[in-house]
């Protein structure tokens, strides 16, 4: 009987379309956040960078677990810290403003993840 259950689980995972699996996969969300943050940092001015990255972080945290959302928030913060201060891509922490940005991005990601529960999780 355990073999039957095991075979049913394998076949149900294979039947799920690739796009649906990628939407719920944490690695795919981190990948999307990485590249989207890079585009936002490249295209926006200094005044809109944090807001654009916060939007990307929130979108990439929809229906994710909290730990994935925190990782997405930290990824966004790394881009903001590396490109907002000196525009050279060096990770130089500038004190309280960077700590506030980290708190803002992680809070946005965590709030989004908590308000939109992942499918199958309670």
Let me know if residue 97 belongs to a domain.
Answer: yes
Let me know if residue 121 belongs to a domain.
Answer: no
Let me know if residue 67 belongs to a domain.
Answer: yes
Let me know if residue 77 belongs to a domain.
Answer: yes
DSSP string, 90-106: -----SHHHHHHHHHHH
- What is the pTM for the complete model shown? 0.74
Range of the domain at 27: 23-115
Per-residue pLDDT tens, the chain, 122 aa: give them. Answer: 555 555 445 545 566 665 555 556 888 899 999 999 989 988 887 778 899 999 999 999 999 999 999 999 999 999 888 877 666 667 777 789 889 999 999 999 999 999 997 665 54
CA–CA separation, 12 and 28 (whole Å): 21
Let me know if residue 56 belongs to a domain.
Answer: yes
Give how many domains the chain has, as a whole number: 1
Give tens-digit pLDDT for 40-65. 988 887 778 899 999 999 999 999 99
CA distances 28 to 10, 57, 100, Å, are 21, 13, 27
Let me know if residue 18 belongs to a domain.
Answer: no
Let me know if residue 13 belongs to a domain.
Answer: no
Which residues are CB-neighbours of 107 under 8 A, at least 6 positions away?
73
Let me know if residue 10 belongs to a domain.
Answer: no
């Amino acid at each position: 009987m355990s073999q039957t259950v095991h075979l049913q689980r394998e076949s149900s995972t294979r039947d799920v379309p690739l796009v649906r699996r990628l939407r719920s996969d944490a690695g795919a969300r981190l990948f999307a956040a990485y590249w989207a943050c890079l585009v936002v940092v490249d295209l926006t001015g200094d005044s809109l960078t944090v807001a654009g990255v916060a939007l990307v972080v929130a979108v990439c945290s929809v229906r994710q677990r909290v730990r994935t959302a925190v990782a997405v928030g930290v990824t966004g913060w790394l881009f903001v810290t590396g490109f907002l201060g000196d525009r050279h891509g060096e990770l130089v922490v500038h004190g309280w403003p960077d700590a506030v940005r980290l708190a803002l991005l992680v809070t946005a990601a965590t709030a989004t993840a908590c308000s939109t529960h992942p499918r199958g999780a309670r």
